[in-house]
Each structure stands twice: as C-alpha cells, then as structure tokens.
Amino acid sequence: MSHVTGVERTLVLLKPDAVARGLAGRVLTRFEQALLKIVAIKMVWMDAELAKRHYFDLEERFGLAVYNLMADFMQTGPVIAVVLEGVDAISCVRKMVGATYPDQAAPGTIRGDFAHMSRAYANDRGVAVANLVHASGNAEEAEHEIGVWFAKDEIHEYATAAEHYHR
C-alpha cells in the first residue's frame, strides 16, 4: 500500500454480466479517468471455494438463499478482479459504481448507465441482481477482499506518467 495519506486500495470485481456484455474496457476506462491506478488485475472463473471466501459473511447478513443466488451467479462466467489505488479510492469507486440496485442508480454511474435489473424483477424470478460490479464497502472489507483475490506479489507498485512527471 502506498504510504501517502489518503491513498487507498480497493477491490473491484467486474461480474460475469459485465464481462459477457463486453463492458470491461468501458468500466476500467472510467476508473482510470478518475485517476484511479490499476495495481493488480486478473480474470478468474470463481469456484464454490472462492465464492465462500469472498462472500464469507453474506449468509449471516442476508440468509442462505441470498448467498446461494450470489454464489451461483458469480460462477456463471469469468470475473475480472481489479485492485485500484488512489486518493479516497474506496469512496470514489463506490460513488462511481452507484446504488446496489441498478434501477435506483443515478445516471452517470456505472450501474445507472449500463445495468438494467430491478430488485423486484430479480426477486420475482429468484435470480441475483445483475449489477455488473462489486466494490469494497470500507477499508476493512477492501483489505480482506484484496487478500482473498491477490497474493502480495501480484500487486504492483509503479508510477503513472502523471506521477512520474508531477512529483
């Protein structure tokens, strides 16, 4: 982690619906345009064990049915896991991603612009809400999730062009 005050790291997952819809580049571009630096990235097929590690408290918080919906959905296609670094990265990413339920997400947010499913629609059909991305909710969650998805040697320290020339 960078030692500059206010600089944080956060985990973002581009969920199977984002990957299948070909939105990875557009979503990553938005983060980079907001001066968030990609310090780790990989594509992974989530399996049951990884789902359990990532969603370790989901069953306790929302029940087994919700956990099963999410775990099953996350295993329907590849996921792109990304660690972003930047000033107030956690809150910045959450604001850019938008509300959990796409029908409630503001225009201009990733979910507001690209997602389409409401909570009611998902509940009526017994499916997970296809909302394109997961973003860590706070610093503790980010630290835990980054550790689930990446080994320390998979996270890179480097200067962006702006950092290199504007020290």
pLDDT tens-digit profile of 117-160?
Answer: 898 999 899 888 999 999 999 999 999 999 999 999 999 999 98
Output the DSSP codes for the chain. ---STTEEEEEEEE-HHHHHTT-HHHHHHHHHHTTPEEEEEEEE---HHHHHHHTTTHHHHH-HHHHHHHHHHHTSS-EEEEEEEEETHHHHHHHHH--SSGGGSPTTSHHHHH----HHHHHHHT-----SEEE--SHHHHHHHHHHH--GGGS-----HHHHH--
Mean pLDDT of the chain: 92
Percent of the chain with pLDDT over 90: 74
Looking at residue 139, which CATH number applies to its domain?
3.30.70.141
- 162 part of a folded domain: no
CA 83, CA 39: separation in Å to the nearest integer? Answer: 6
Write down the pLDDT at residue 126.
Answer: 87
pLDDT score for 109: 98
Predicted confidence at residue 167, as pLDDT, reads 61
Q: Has residue 162 got a pLDDT over 90? A: no
Residue 2: per-residue pLDDT: 46
pLDDT at 105: 96
pLDDT digits (tens, 9 = 90+) for 5-20: 789 999 999 999 999 9
Q: Which residues are catalytic?
A: 134
pLDDT at 1: 47
The sign of the dihedral angle between the CA atoms of 109, 110, 116, 118 is negative
What is the per-residue pLDDT for 4? 58
Range of the domain at 99: 8-155
> Among 4-8, 36-40, 162-166, where is mean pLDDT lowest?
162-166
Residue 52 lies inside a defined structural domain of this protein: yes
* Residue 3 pLDDT greater than 80, yes or no: no
pLDDT at 48 over 50: yes
In a domain, 148, yes or no: yes
Q: Which residue has the higher pLDDT, 109 or 69?
A: 109
Question: What total number of domains does the chain contain?
Answer: 1
Is 164 a member of any domain?
no
